[in-house]
Amino acid sequence: MTRLWWVRHGPTHARAFAGWRDIPADLSDHAALARLNAHLPRPALLVSSDLIRASATADALGPGRRRLPDDPALREFHFGDWDGLPFTEVATRWPDLSRRYWEEPGHIAPPNGESWIAAAARIDAAADALAAAHPGQDIIAVAHFGAILTQVQRAAAISPYEALAQDIANLSVTCLQLDGGRWSLLGVNHRP
């Protein structure tokens, strides 16, 4: 059995869409990082999105673990023209589209961005490739809110809309297990 321990990166304090924009994480809560580090398996492989907020969080968890190269396929959803804009501005400039994006996740995409289905396909393929390359191992994947939710959706066999109701806190752990070719959910949003 392969277990994938999804960790959401440290907080960014951003008050705007933060998709592929490269903004740093606040990793000043050393006690929270120590609790997270103690909760995660050792030995384990460690991989992250290539965005600095995830990569730096993985670096903080790295000592004693084998670090794999950062993987751009583990990035957050690509919010296109919305990236960097405050949520209220997006709702004002694209009222119908922004409402549908959250209420009907699936094929709806921001201008020049990607839909839930496109992001999920990208992240599913990356997770499957990690599991295939490292069968029977524990793999810690430091990623993003949306990326982790796509994996919750897949493992729990729920709709994207139902997945969006799930909280994924910064520095939380969501654990999935691959057994017999099927992903199952072992825990969601655990905050050590």
Whether the CB-CB separation of 40 and 61 falls below 8 Å is answered with yes
Q: Which is it for the CA torsion 158, 161, 167, 169, positive or negative?
A: positive
Q: Sort 28 into a burial class: Cβ within 10 Å, 0-12 / 13-18 / 19+.
A: exposed
Catalytic residues: 9, 76
Q: In what order do the strands lie in the sheet with 138-143?
A: 66-67, 45-48, 138-143, 2-8, 173-179, 182-190
Q: Sort 64 into a burial class: Cβ within 10 Å, 0-12 / 13-18 / 19+.
A: exposed
Cα–Cα dist 189/93, whole Å: 32
